[in-house]
Amino acid sequence: MKNSQTLVEKAYQQIKLMLLNDELVAGQKLRYQDIAKRLDMSQTPVNLALVRLENEGLVHWEANKGYSVPELDMEEARELYELRILLEGFLVSKAAQNITDDDLSELRLLLDGHRAVRGEVYCRERLWCDARIHMAIARYSGHKNGATYLHQLFDRIYLRYRPERLSIERLTEAEQQHENLFKALAAHDAQQAQEIMSHHIAMGQQRMLRGIQTRVEERSRVQLWG
Domain termination site, one of 40, 68, 96: 68
User: What is the structure's pLDDT at 91?
Assistant: 99
- Using pLDDT thresholds of 50, 70 and 90, give the confidence band for residue 1: very low
Burial of 198 (0-12, 13-18, 19+ CB in 10 A): middle
Is the pLDDT assigned to residue 103 strictly greater than 50? yes
Domain termination site, one of 29, 46, 68: 68
User: What is the structure's pLDDT at 164?
Assistant: 63
Convert the pLDDT of each residue in 150-169 to its tens digit. Answer: 999 999 888 887 766 666 67
User: What is the structure's pLDDT at 165?
Assistant: 65
Mean pLDDT of the 195-217 span: 88
**Rounded CA separation 128/115 (Å):** 12
Angle between helices 74-98 and 144-158 (to 10 degrees): 150
Considering Cα of 106, then 110, then 113, then 115, what sign does the dihedral take?
negative
Q: Which of 85, 87, 104, 86 is nearest to 96 (CA)?
A: 104
Indicate if 213 and 102 belong to the same structural domain.
yes
Mean pLDDT check: name the lowest of 7-11, 22-26, 201-205.
22-26
Indicate if 126 and 183 belong to the same structural domain.
yes
Indicate if 78 and 170 belong to the same structural domain.
yes
Indicate if 45 and 80 belong to the same structural domain.
no
Mean pLDDT check: name the lowest of 193-197, 199-203, 206-210, 222-226.
222-226
Mean pLDDT of the chain: 89
**Rounded CA separation 93/185 (Å):** 9
* Boundaries of domain holding 39: 2-68
- Using pLDDT thresholds of 50, 70 and 90, give the confidence band for residue 192: very high
Q: The domain that contains 137 carries what CATH number? A: 1.20.120.530
User: What is the structure's pLDDT at 23?
Assistant: 87
Counting the structural domains of the chain, the total is: 2
Indicate if 88 and 171 belong to the same structural domain.
yes
Domain termination site, one of 17, 38, 68: 68
Whole-prediction pTM: 0.85
Higher pLDDT, 212 or 8: 8
Indicate if 40 and 79 belong to the same structural domain.
no
> What distance lies between CA 73 and its chain's CA centroid?
15
**Strand ranges in 29-149 using DSSP code E only, listed in sequence order:** 29-30, 60-62, 66-68
**Rounded CA separation 153/150 (Å):** 5
